[in-house]
């Protein structure tokens, strides 16, 4: 399935990507498996998505936990803990 993935703040800088369209293999169905999929790209991707960094996720503009399911056409975003205010 095809999804859009967005990266913000430290992730955007480290990965040198702000957004991309990804075709996911069938094995990727939730945030945890998407993180593993991205970590398998190696380098900065592994550094950001292998669990050493705190990474929050949102699906279609709502904060979600790692077990949240991903559907075709979703907008998934990854970012560090927020620091506004």
> Which residues in this chain contact another protein in the complex, by CB under 8 A?
6, 8-10, 54, 58, 61-63, 77, 79-85
The structure tokens 């996720």 sit at 57
Nearest in space to 11 (alpha carbons), one of 35, 33, 28: 35
- Rounded to whole angstroms, the Cα distance separating 25 from 84 reads 35
- Shortest reach from residue 10's CB to another protein, in Å: 5
Residue 13 or 40: the one with the smaller Cβ distance to another protein is 13
Nearer to another protein among residue 42 and residue 81 (C-beta): 81
Query: Between 12 and 37, whose beta carbon lies closer to another protein?
Result: 12
CB 64 within 8 A of CB 57: yes
């Amino acid at each position: 399935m095809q999804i859009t993935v967005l990266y913000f703040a430290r992730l955007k800088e480290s990965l040198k990507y702000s957004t991309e369209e990804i075709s996911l293999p069938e094995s990727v169905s939730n945030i945890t498996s998407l993180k593993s999929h991205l970590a398998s790209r190696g380098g900065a991707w592994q550094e950001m998505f292998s669990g050493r960094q705190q990474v929050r996720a949102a699906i279609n503009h709502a904060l979600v936990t790692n077990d949240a399911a991903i559907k075709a056409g979703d907008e998934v975003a990854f970012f560090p803990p927020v620091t506004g205010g």
